[in-house]
Amino acid sequence: MNMQPISPEITAQLQAHIRSIPDFPQPGILFRDITPLLGDAATLRLTIDLLAAPFRAAQIDYIVGIESRGFLFGMPLAYQLGVGFVPVRKMGKLPHRTLQTEYTLEYGTNVLEVHADAIPPGKRVVIVDDLLATGGTAAATATLMEQLGAQVAGMAFVIELSGLAGRAKLAGIPIHVLLSYP
């Protein structure tokens, strides 16, 4: 899988469309808002192209999007790569029989679910979300994929908050990130 660095010009274009909002959702947090990126057609198209690039020759079968912003990037990525899309949702949102896993947040726990028949065993998947922070949600999603018998071929994120060391929870999984903030 080819994960080449992004040029400084492209990085600057993407960063120009990420809004930083201090003290949201609580004091002391600097929130990275992707809505300006979503609203700019050229930058949104560039983002999807960049997310797809390392996976074009990876022979993947599904894109797995994590609720909810992972859906925003996962669906067009699946379309562009010509593969299926599988949503991973918070508990109680999927109508059919599910597999679930509990994971730890900074302030408690949460549960993610996937349909028990979403992916046949042995299929290769790429997990997609907008943000890699502490890695808990991404690691929980990887656990769900293992429960299904799928192989996690990689993960893709628009933004990584590198100071939170989320990559440590994802050891051994190729990770593709467009922007990194300390």
DSSP assignment of 26-54: STT-EEEE-HHHHH-HHHHHHHHHHHHGG
User: Do the beta carbons of residue 128 and residue 70 sit within 8 Å?
Assistant: yes
d(CA 42, CA 62): 25
Active site residues: 69, 106
Beta bridge partner(s), residue 100: 113
Distance set, CA 177 to CA 67, 122, 131 (Å): 18, 25, 9
d(CA 64, CA 88): 7
DSSP helix, strand, coil percent of the chain (3-state; round to 5): 35, 35, 30
